[in-house]
Amino acid sequence: MTAHIIESLSADPEALRTLLELLEKQRGLFARLRELSERQTALVNDAAADALLTLLAERQSLIDELMAANEALEPYRRNWTKLYADLPEPQRQHVGTLLREVQQSLGAILEQDERDRQTLQSRQGRIGIELQGMARAGSAVQAYRNAAHQAQARFTDSRG
């Protein structure tokens, strides 16, 4: 589907209203996503796997909504430089504020997700090391059992 190109917002008040609604929606979705990102960190730190999976499903739902909003913004994006320049000053400032807030939220979400990823990766590495240690301990126990069994058999006579 090819989206049409919006030529002017000042000549099309409905297009301007729609743009502002979409940007407001996008800002709200990013704010909710940022809140979930903060909750995600607490769940990662608490190793609450089930709750984390539920939260990730919530995040995916918000991401799906963001993708739909992003698609709806496509007609504006195609001619964005001209549209933005033609906005009356109050709307241009408002749009600029909305875009900055979205960018700030996105940056914070990406940073938090990277920290969470590093935490999970570190935890995975520690668990791997612990599992290796447990495997070695199991091998040592088995070796002691074998040695004990051989020692016991070595000192018994034919009568038991």
Render pLDDT for 96-110 as a digit per residue (tens, 0 to 9): 999 999 999 999 999
Render pLDDT for 50-93 as a digit per residue (tens, 0 to 9): 998 999 999 999 999 999 999 999 999 988 999 999 888 999 99
Decide: residue 17, CB within 10 A, 0-12 exposed, 13-18 middle, 19+ buried: exposed
72's tokens: 């709806």
Domains and CATH numbers, the chain: 13-125 (1.20.58)
49, 82, 147 from 157: Cα distances, Å: 57, 100, 18
Predicted TM-score (pTM) of the model is 0.71
Q: Is 152 helix (H, G, I), strand (E, B) or coil?
A: helix
95's tokens: 């749009």
